[in-house]
Amino acid sequence: MRLAVAATPGVAIPTLEHLLTSEHQLVRIFTTGDKPVGRGRSLTATQVAQWAHDHRIECMKVDTASEMAASLADIDCVVTIAFGILLPQNILDIPAHGFINLHFSLLPAWRGAAPVQRAIENGDELLGISVFALDAGMDTGPIYRQSSFPRDEEMRSKEALEFLGIQGVELIMKTLEDISNGVLPVPQKTEGTSLARKLSKSEALIDWGQSAEAINRKVAAFYPNPIAYTNFRSEIIKITESKICVDFSSDTSLLPGEWVVEKERVLIGTGSKPLEILQLVPQGKSEMKATDWARGARIDSGERCG
């Protein structure tokens, strides 16, 4: 088939790499326009646009669905992966076999922009991927194929998305075979639906009165963006990696938000067990080991996040 891919982040690259050497013809790529990035706010192409340039594949940078219309008539099917642009039905109807989407959840659970992040934050034991036919709704189309995977408790959103992006390649290829063979997708179940709304910076502020389990899940879910954070000495400290402490040696329990450094580790009190901080980003600095930061910070006994 003559294919196009509509995608934005690097999680789509494993599929692009495979399609490039498959029996199908990767005709063109759609991605979103350049965006200001970093402290300098310099305009930067998406990871998918950079890949297309490196591999000399036609790439269209678009900010609205209507900009795609004239470039879809010669396409049999469009594969979308975290594209970020809502596609109306008149656009979806142009390719001969429509659009299929690789979504990183077990639909109908976690429809929306942040399925992996919300699954991790929620403590789901399984992560999943679904390939479905796009319709005008938000991740509501009929499903071709799904796969599920046990979640490693140490896996953050970054690692989970990288893993699922690789696993999704096989599901995409099998779905394209299904389409060629006339296999029809199955409507989604009506029960078990949930919404995976985009993560916000306001949500990233840690409430140390929550349980260690809930905070640890938030740290994992919010990495690498927007990153869970706390306030300490009137500065923002981002927490990028943590784990639950099960062997705190002190005779007295820590108050929520209270720091302690012991046995070459950094702990913060929560509403339950202490949380061990492994990696953090001090304000205005680069990511570092929490123990290295603590040596320079010289935390006093009883100091708390505020």
> What mean pLDDT is predicted for residues 125-130?
98
pLDDT surpassing 90 at residue 29: yes
Q: Which of 61, 63, 37 is closest to 50 using CA atoms?
A: 61
What are the angstrom distances between the C-alpha of 99 and each of 70, 75, 161?
15, 10, 22
Domain membership of residue 271 (yes or no) is yes
**pLDDT value at residue 136:** 94
pLDDT surpassing 80 at residue 24: yes
* C-alpha to C-alpha distance for 3 and 175, rounded to whole angstroms: 13
Domain membership of residue 259 (yes or no) is yes
Chain mean pLDDT for the chain: 96
What are the angstrom distances between the C-alpha of 129 and each of 73, 105, 125, 210?
29, 5, 14, 30
In terms of domains, do 41 and 117 share one? yes
pTM score: 0.94
**pLDDT value at residue 252:** 63
pLDDT surpassing 70 at residue 67: yes
In terms of domains, do 21 and 80 share one? yes
- Contact (CB, 8 A) for 151 and 127: yes
Confidence grade of residue 250 (pLDDT, cut at 50, 70, 90): low
Q: 173, 196, 219 — which closes off a domain?
A: 196
Burial of 301: CB neighbours in 10 Å, binned 0-12, 13-18, 19+: exposed
**pLDDT value at residue 41:** 81
Q: For the packed helices 115-122 and 212-221, what is the interaxial angle rounded to 10 degrees?
A: 170
Residue 240 backbone phi and psi in degrees, to 5: -105, -20
In terms of domains, do 95 and 230 share one? no
242 φ/ψ sector (left φ>0, alpha ψ -120 to 50, else beta): beta
Confidence grade of residue 216 (pLDDT, cut at 50, 70, 90): very high
> What mean pLDDT is predicted for residues 130-139?
97
In terms of domains, do 70 and 191 share one? yes
**pLDDT value at residue 40:** 76
Domain membership of residue 303 (yes or no) is no
Burial of 247: CB neighbours in 10 Å, binned 0-12, 13-18, 19+: exposed
Among 37-41, 52-56, 227-231, the minimum mean pLDDT is found in: 37-41
Residue 104's CB is within 10 A of a number of other CB atoms, namely 27
The residues near 234 (Cβ < 8 Å, ≥ 6 apart) are none
Number of domains comprising the chain: 2
- In the DSSP assignment, the letter for residue 223 is T
In terms of domains, do 182 and 262 share one? no
**pLDDT value at residue 3:** 99
pLDDT digits (tens, 9 = 90+) for 68-105: 999 999 999 999 999 999 999 999 999 999 999 999 99
Looking at the chain, the whole-number percentage of residues with pLDDT higher than 90 is: 91
In terms of domains, do 214 and 248 share one? yes
| Tokens (6 digits) for 216 | 């640890």
The residues near 115 (Cβ < 8 Å, ≥ 6 apart) are 103, 104, 105, 109, 196
Looking at the chain, the whole-number percentage of residues with pLDDT higher than 70 is: 99
In terms of domains, do 87 and 219 share one? no
| Tokens (6 digits) for 113 | 């922009």
pLDDT surpassing 60 at residue 112: yes
Structural domain that includes position 13? 2-196
Give the CATH number for residue 222: 3.10.25.10
> What mean pLDDT is predicted for residues 162-185?
98
pLDDT surpassing 70 at residue 160: yes
**pLDDT value at residue 95:** 98
pLDDT surpassing 60 at residue 251: no
In terms of domains, do 104 and 122 share one? yes
Apex CA 10: angle with CA 119 and CA 32, to 5°?
A: 100
